[in-house]
Structure 1
Amino acid sequence: MHTIIRDKETSRDEFIFYSKDISDDHVILMDCTVSTGAAAMMAVRVLLDHDVPEDKIFLLSLLMAEMGVHSVAYAFPRVRIITTAVDKRVNDLFRIIPGIGNFGDRYFGTDAVPDGSDEEEAASVG
């Protein structure tokens, strides 16, 4: 298993690798929601840099924006994309519309950090 942990306070990503060679493995890259595809494409690039063949990478997501699907599929046509749903658009903050809210907060039962985005999101939907 390989994990990338994102630290929002330091803007630094910490990489944890549990095996030395993943080049022969199939890799499931999981992201709850994919809006633009930028983070997913960066993760795919890391896997390719570790010699994982593109056709052995699966991108698994609960919800993707159309933009994210197209971006990843265009950049990496042999990566297999698996998602439960695709929403048509993203708002000005690149959040999926209508989306599912903050998946982590919903899943873990935590409160969202107030950043004003809910008001802005509601304004961009209306």
Structure 2
Amino acid sequence: MQIRVIPGSSAAIYRQIADQVRRAVVSGELSIGDAMPSVRVLAKELVVNPNTVAKAYAELIRDGVLESQPGRGAFVAKRRNVFTRAERTRRLDEALDAAVSAGLVLDFTSDEILARMQAKLEELK
């Protein structure tokens, strides 16, 4: 798996890392039990502070995407819903609000935004 960060992006670097790992798990690029690079190794590859990678990993562990094995590192966790339906819905609504708002600010029409969302859904299936 190749992780790339965009330093000037409006998304925090730790968020870019976490989102890319999530997508890789959902798409099957990363499988249950796959080892993640160590915090130091990934930080060096991305030329970012190790604390940034540690923050991304901590979020992914908290969300149940990764699991930490002391002395061994971080691994892709077994898929499980660690959030209630209400919490998952709240998080999805928050992400959709941000995406739709960004699209509107960029002068895309509602139809164009819907078409891009549909294309992304198909891409990630």
Q: TM-score, normalised by structure 2?
A: 0.30
- TM-score where L is the length of structure 1: 0.30
Higher helix share: 2
